[in-house]
Chains A and B, each alone.
Chain A
Amino acid sequence: MSHKKALHTFFYYLLSVLVAVIVLIPFFWMISTSLKSKGAIMALPVQWIPKKPTLKAYKQVFTMFPFLRAILNSLFITVSYTLITILSSSMAAFAFTKIRFPFADKLFKVYLASMMIPTQVTLIPLFIIMNRLGLINTYPSVILPSLFKAFGIFMLVQQLRTIPNDFMEAARMDGAGLFKIYWKVIMPLCSSAIATLSITTFMDSWNDYLWPLVMLTDKSKMTLTLALNSLNGQYGTQYNVLMAGSLLSMLPIILVYIGAQRNFKHGMLEGGVKG
């Protein structure tokens, strides 16, 4: 029996390490390439570990493109986008679940139905609207769509429905107004759902491609994904530089993920299906 168990353990680790290796090979390749010189990336036989490692590619990223600017743009846009999503979604979810108002059900259905429309449908008209408003090539053009995130509202509504109204009543007895209840009672009570929503929103915004691609054409406004995209367009064969840029673009999100792991419960899925 214990022999069989040992065999099981062996195969378990064999498989899990094999999968991990498959996952990590492209990243290893990225790091290895980013440490090579221009000549070494096309040297045969291929060097898995660079013979003369150099940080030159990392310097070049910043000279070939305003990459630092792109990092700051991404940070500013992503943080604003996430904050607005959280505030706007939680306010709507609070109104839907804790305040009675006319047409609430109908409005909620409209919100839900909007989730079925793929973003590609609204892409062209939104480009036109943004153009009319003179917002093309500005931060608000990529930040403002965060005002309405149906998925976030839906997720928080589900969460808020589980909070008994007794909490509301108790706070009301103490004479608290609705805004105070929203901020001091309800928000803290659903903090873990909010943390989950924050992280998924942060990730989506940080990694977004199509929307910024259409809205931002000015180099000084570009986010990191667009910076990589345009480096690829201009220096498509200098993979050491492209890989250095890719690695730099990944680091913040991985740090956020590891830092937030305590709160992170595989986001999107709460309230999705029950197994």
Chain B
Amino acid sequence: MKTKKNNERISAALFMLPSFIGMIIFSLLPILISIFISLTDWNGLEKLSPATISKDFIGLRNYTDILSGTEFWNVLAHTLYFIVLYIPLVFIASLIIAEILFQARKGVGVLRVIYYIPVLTSWVAASLIWKWVLSPQYGAVNQILAAVGINGPNWLTDEIWAMPAIVLASVWKDMGFYGLFLLSGLNGIDNTYYEAARVDGANKAKIFFSITMPLLSPSLFFCLIMSLINAFQLFPQVMIMTEGGPNGATQVMVERIYTYGFKYFKMGYASAYSWLLFVIIFALTLLQLKGQKVWVHYES
């Protein structure tokens, strides 16, 4: 009997081994190292060891430097600018997509694939495409605008329009994803609610606002948090479309982390930046866990 138990433990250990090794090397160890590095002004070139860490130790100075400078707050402001434009647009677009697919009329299979192609496209390819589509002189967007008599802006080279340009590309890329997510939410709503409402003679708008929206709220809330977390992690589109420019107008957190870490080799400073990013994402995750319990209307 005892050997059987031992055998089970050995098997369990073998089954756990790959992921456990992975967890130590790719998660736990880096987290610990990152905390230490963030407390140093290590230049990234010297060999890292406990000795270099204690030699370069500067306490919390990276954190206080970041928080007391103006750049970090500008970066947050850029992210906020992105969020304010992106969230409403992507929600409207994905609700429309979800509703189109939900009605499941003829041709819906083709539409589903079409709406999902941007999601399948890599951000690198999508950014290149949008950079060209938004070209002031030769791009499709300004051509179309010109056709209706609007003089399109210089998008990516204009400090005011660069972020909206990134928003446009991001909404286009993400709406299919959230659309299909919300579709699965719509599919989860029990049909009897709709039937009851129809019997009561409720009109379409009334049904949408008093049945669909509340019952869809768990999915909507989940999408909201997910899109906020993603908004703080903007990277490839910024890197390829603007590289943080023009004049720093699209600098965002991950772009800063990459630039400080791998262009200036200020590894400590970049690590401190990444922990500030963690704090924001952690707060959003907690909000999500709380929200799921309190705010959201659950079907019981």
Contacts and interface: CB of A to CB of B under 8 A. Distances in A.
Given A99-B8, A124-B37, A26 B133 contact: yes
Contacts of B124: 207, 209, 225, 228-229, 246, 249
A124 B271 contact: yes
A23 B143 contact: no
B48 to A, nearest CB: 6
B111 interface: yes
B113 interface: yes
Interface in B1-51: 8-9, 11-13, 15-16, 18-23, 25-31, 33-34, 37, 48
B180 interface: yes
Contacts of A25: 133, 140
A85 to B, nearest CB: 10
Interface stretch (B56-64, B72-80, B154-162, B256-264): B256-264
Contacts of B222: 272-273
Contacts of A257: 113, 116, 120
A2 interface: no
Given A12-B100, A120-B254, A125 B30 contact: yes
Interface in B79-130: 93, 96-97, 100, 103, 105, 107, 111, 113-118, 120-126, 128-130
Q: Is the interface of A mostly helix, strand, loop or mixed?
A: helix
A275 B236 contact: no
Given A124-B271, A266-B184, A117 B240 contact: no
Interface of A: 9, 12-13, 15-16, 19-20, 22-27, 29-30, 33, 41-42, 44, 46, 84, 87-89, 91-92, 94-95, 99-102, 104, 107, 110-111, 114, 116-118, 120-129, 144-148, 150, 153, 178-179, 182, 203, 206-207, 209-210, 214, 224-225, 228-229, 232, 239, 242-243, 246, 249-250, 253-254, 257-258, 261, 266, 269, 272-275
Interface of B: 8-9, 11-13, 15-16, 18-23, 25-31, 33-34, 37, 48, 93, 96-97, 100, 103, 105, 107, 111, 113-118, 120-126, 128-130, 132-133, 135, 137-140, 143, 172, 176, 180-181, 183-189, 215-216, 218-219, 222, 233, 235-236, 239-240, 253-254, 257-258, 261-262, 267, 270-271, 274-275, 277-278, 281-282, 285, 292, 298-299
